[in-house]
A = this chain, B = another copy of it.
Amino acid sequence: MTEPALSSVWTRPRPEPRRRAPGVDQYVAAALAIADAEGLAAVSMRRVAGDLGSGTATLYRYITNRDELVDLMVDAAQGEDPIPEPTQDWRADLAAVAHALRATLLRHPWLAGELAGRPSLGPNSLRRSESALRAAVALTPDITLASQALGAVHAYVLGSVATQQAARRAERRSGLTEEQWQRSVGPYISEVIAAGKHPMLARRVLEAEEPDPNAEFAFGLDCMLDGLAARLGR
């Protein structure tokens, strides 16, 4: 006796509004705008509905809960850019996949954590995955290895963008200006360095050049792609 299938946001029919209520796409767009401007925590059901002149109860008629709204947001963000055309060069294609993902993440600073933290099964996400897998299969026809290769690139991109955005996020959370944040942290760092227990960190703070985020990202990606080429390339 099999139990009934359970529904998910991607399987449930998406009812269209009959009267003046906004459609799901409008709710999602409003939520995206709030998240981009103020962070994901600012996306509350009341806020989203209110910004659209809709009732919260109405929003709940279309979107089951907040978690589902975030799923929809994550997928919508991934549908903003066209899928890049494949070339004959797996490496260029994987790099394009990585850069496209990074561009999306930079546009939506809340997204990296969410993408890293939840399976992504919406239509846009699947479309992107398909394109990315196609590039990886050009590297190696073994689907298992291709998936692993893609996973490694994906992991690097997510981790890299998220950590690059961490300082900005902490500032925001503190409610301080960037200058105030530096002033809350700077003396501590100076103290740590003066204590002499962390000579490598001292060198990094005192000698290392200010990283250009784009170049830093590209460096790590190139290393990863180099490694993939060495291990799987032909």
Given contacts A3-B183, A8-B185, A184-B5, contact A159 B166 (CB under 8 A): no
A230 within 8 A of B: yes
Q: How far is the CA of A154 from the CA of B149 in the complex (A)?
A: 18
A132 to B119, CA, bound (A): 31
Is A37 interfacial (CB 8 A cutoff)?
no
A137 CB contacts on chain B under 8 angstroms: 200, 203
Known: A129-B201, A143-B204. A5 touches B183 (CB 8 A): yes
Contact call B152/A183, Cβ cutoff below 8 A: no
The one of B118, B160, B226 that contacts A170, using a Cβ cutoff of 8 Å: B118
A155 at the interface (CB under 8 A from B): yes
8 Å CB interface, A51-76 against B? 67
Chain B residues whose C-beta falls within 8 Å of the C-beta of A158 in the assembled complex: 116, 155, 158-159, 162-163
* Assembled-state Cα–Cα distance A3/B15 (Å): 57
**Chain B residue contacts of A209, Cβ below 8 A:** 144
The verdict on A100 contacting chain B, using a C-beta distance below 8 Å, is no
- How many chain A residues have a CB neighbour from B under 8 Å? 79
A147 interface residue per 8 A CB criterion: yes
Chain B's closest residue to A216 (CB) is B148
List residues of A (1-49) whose CB comes within 8 Å of B's CBs.
3, 5-8, 10-11
**A206's closest neighbor in chain B, by CB?**
B143
In contact, A231 and B220 (Cβ under 8 angstroms): no
Quick check: B201 and A5 within 8 Å, CB to CB? Answer: no
Instruction: Report which of B5, B143, B152, B198 forms a contact with A156, defined as CB distance below 8 A.
Output: B152
Check if A178 is an interface residue, CB within 8 A of chain B.
no
**Who on chain B is nearest to A156 by CB?**
B156
Chain A contacts to B: CB under 8 angstroms: 3, 5-8, 10-11, 67, 112-113, 116-119, 121, 126-127, 129-130, 133-134, 137, 143-144, 146-149, 151-152, 154-160, 162-163, 165-167, 169-170, 173-174, 176, 180, 183-185, 187-189, 191-192, 197-201, 203-204, 207-209, 211, 216, 219-220, 222-228, 230-231
The 4 A-B pairs of least Cβ separation, nearest first, read: A223-B227, A159-B159, A152-B220, A155-B159
> Would you mind naming 7 contact pairs between A and B with Cβ atoms under 8 Å apart?
A6-B176, A11-B187, A130-B197, A151-B163, A152-B223, A155-B158, A158-B163
